[in-house]
Chain A
């Protein structure tokens, strides 16, 4: 019999020699797309998080390679168009992407090379899950992982419409949506995410959300002591916090990191669409359909009467029915 894995608290540890059972499963799901009344799990898993320290990233793309290897994806070989991003964007086969930007700091006139590892942020309040119409295609576990279940995905692209970070990508091959899983399959057996494991500078670290916040606080203090006054943690409250967080040296200007959202939240348009439009729309259609059916069945219809037929007959014979006496049957 296999032992049950323990929740990972770091990505640095090596896998156990003995095979282990997953420590969490479908019973730990707290939210399911297009599903009302998900039963509350019996336990609350410790919240996990990946912390990406942008100030420590050297842009080596080991995280991308590790992601490709672990998830067995096959990104296309693309043309070099003179930029560092490779591939050019997130794709159904590339769940994480180093985005490079060259920014001139107006205060110091220094060129700063900002490299942000883009990918799913694993929002506490996930817009993709809110927008998804397919039951069970997107789930959220109580440890914070938001996972796509491809066998239930219908490929409509609504997840992308709902996502505040422009992350999911829909395959034109199998018409299903893909994104970072936070290596949920590794975490379940006590291993940290592949990208964090591969990162040579430990710019990517992984553990409980509390540990990661504490670690971030130390890093921010260090950055501040080096003159980065506005260093800070990116854990946006608009989406309830995220389970992938950044340490930014310029946390007051997230947009300089390749348009990182300043105040991400589920768009009010998406909320209006999935909220009042749906509820009110269905109610109005339902009432109209029922009302029309009942009225159609029980109310008296607008019947053509005998004198109408006679009038038509007179008209067709070449006389004007209105010229004759006006009582029905006499024309």
Chain B
């Protein structure tokens, strides 16, 4: 078996050559991603409803306050499990690499879209890695603190001082994860050609060359070794 690729997943491959498209995420990962996304949106709406009275009307989306109260933690558990699957699939290529430091130091060029000035990158840039690790950390804090304040399940077993800290951390983490979520969606839209990676599963060769050149090189060299089409 070939050695583990350094910048790509084994499944990433050239999908077509004229024009060039590259397979970035297969169906299971995409379904996994969208389930997580759906859960996060439901959690945001139901959580915000209980966060501030001005947003309490959002409980109407779920059939009232009582339903919102029991639904929110259950969806939270589904998100946690769904994200765990995603985590174990994605964590390896989200580990920091030496070129990340250079990329971060040239953040001005990143914002200007001046990609020629940036180092060549693998499957993920440091911004994407930040989103990944921030989501991971915040989801862990949210599930732990969320279970501690899950009245229906933990009832009166958790002491009140612990509940108070948990509810505060839960609220702060929720605010932060929504900011990360906004950053994630914004970056996916601003970097044109990215969304199709999570819809169709492929990106254009140009997109891969422009944003994740080491990733593309590794895949291209791997695919070139095989029998010609």
Contacts and interface: CB of A to CB of B under 8 A. Distances in A.
Interface residues of B, number: 57
A316 B220 contact: yes
Given A156-B50, A302-B191, 7 more contacts: A133-B51, A154-B68, A160-B156, A163-B160, A304-B210, A309-B20, A317-B17
A281 B175 contact: yes
A312 interface: yes
A305 B14 CA distance: 19
Interface in A285-331: 285, 288-289, 292, 295-296, 299-306, 308-313, 315-318, 321
B210 A308 contact: yes
28 contacts: A154-B50, A154-B65, A154-B66, A154-B68, A157-B151, A158-B167, A160-B160, A163-B160, A267-B161, A277-B175, A278-B52, A278-B171, A281-B51, A285-B175, A288-B178, A295-B190, A301-B190, A301-B192, A304-B206, A305-B206, A309-B20, A311-B206, A312-B20, A312-B206, A313-B19, A315-B209, A315-B220, A316-B205
B44 to A, nearest CB: 9
A309 B113 contact: no
Nearest to B193: A304
Given A304-B207, A316-B17, A157 B191 contact: no
A207 B55 CA distance: 40
Interface string B1-45: 000000000000010010110000000000000000000000000
Nearest to B180: A288
Which of A170, A277, A312 has the most chain B CB within a 10 Å cutoff? A312
Q: DSSP majority for the B interface?
A: helix
Which of B68, B151, B155 has the most chain A CB within a 10 Å cutoff? B151
B61 interface: no
Interface of A: 34-36, 133-135, 152, 154-158, 160-161, 163, 166, 169-170, 172, 175, 267, 269-270, 272-273, 277-278, 281-282, 284-285, 288-289, 292, 295-296, 299-306, 308-313, 315-318, 321
B140 interface: no
A177 B199 CA distance: 45
A28 to B, nearest CB: 21
A51 B149 CA distance: 34
Contacts, number: 163
Interface string B184-213: 011001111100000000001111111000
Contacts of A313: 17, 19-20, 205
B69 A156 contact: yes
Interface of B: 14, 17, 19-20, 50-53, 56, 59, 64-66, 68-70, 113, 115, 149, 151-152, 155-156, 160-161, 163-165, 167-168, 171-172, 174-175, 178-179, 182-183, 185-186, 189-193, 204-210, 216-217, 220, 223-224
Contacts of B168: 269-270, 272-273, 277
Contacts of B19: 309, 313
A285 B178 contact: yes
A318 B210 contact: no
A135 B185 contact: no
Given A308-B206, A312-B208, A270 B51 contact: no
B164 A267 contact: yes
A312 B164 CA distance: 55
A309 B204 contact: yes
A304 B204 contact: yes
Contacts of A284: 175, 179
Contacts of B193: 303-304
- Leading 4 A-B pairs by shortest Cβ distance: A312-B205, A157-B151, A309-B206, A308-B206
Contacts of A270: 164, 167-168
B175 A315 contact: no
A135 B56 contact: yes
Contacts of A295: 186, 190
Contacts of A157: 149, 151, 163
Given A301-B191, A315-B216, A175 B163 contact: no
